[in-house]
Amino acid sequence: MMQIFSNRTMAFLGMLALLAGCTPALSPQAGRDLFSQNCAACHGGAGQGGAQVPNLTTLAQRYGGTYPQSMVLDKLDGYARGQNAYAGAEMPEFGHLLTGPLTRVQTARGLSRPLPQHIVALDAYLQSVQQ
């Protein structure tokens, strides 16, 4: 087989990618799996919610027609815990989801924010299930 790059070139390119902080995004399936493992028990297998737990497929509808990405990211990385009208019921903390490689996410107004890959994958999954 013809080799286009030498092993040494490949190693160098790999180092550059690491230095640039390019963490490849997790697959959409990864977000779905994380949701089943960590969220479905309360929010339902399809994110449809329950008596004390909000429906996550109507986030966009309930937040003025636009998926509320900053709120979701804040909620998931713990900044927005307990800031909701659902008295008595609270989101648990997900410390283990906050570990692992970081990836940069483009947010509103051209800003970007480094976030754990798992949080980003969950956010992408939630965006994909909006009605």
Residues that bind ligand HEC (CB under 6 A): 38-39, 41-43, 52-54, 56, 59, 72, 75-76, 82, 84, 86, 89-92, 94, 122
Nearest distance from C-beta of residue 55 to ligand HEC, angstroms: 7
Nearest distance from C-beta of residue 53 to ligand HEC, angstroms: 5
For 18, the token pair is 């690491």
Nearest distance from C-beta of residue 73 to ligand HEC, angstroms: 9
Altogether, the residues listed in the chain come to a count of: 131
For 29, the token pair is 């399936």
Instruction: Report which of 109, 123, 55, 60 is spatially closest to residue 86, judged by C-alpha positions.
Output: 55
Nearest distance from C-beta of residue 36 to ligand HEC, angstroms: 10
For ligand HEC, give the closer residue by CB, 6 or 89.
89
CA 37 centroid distance within chain: 14
d(CA 111, CA 127): 19
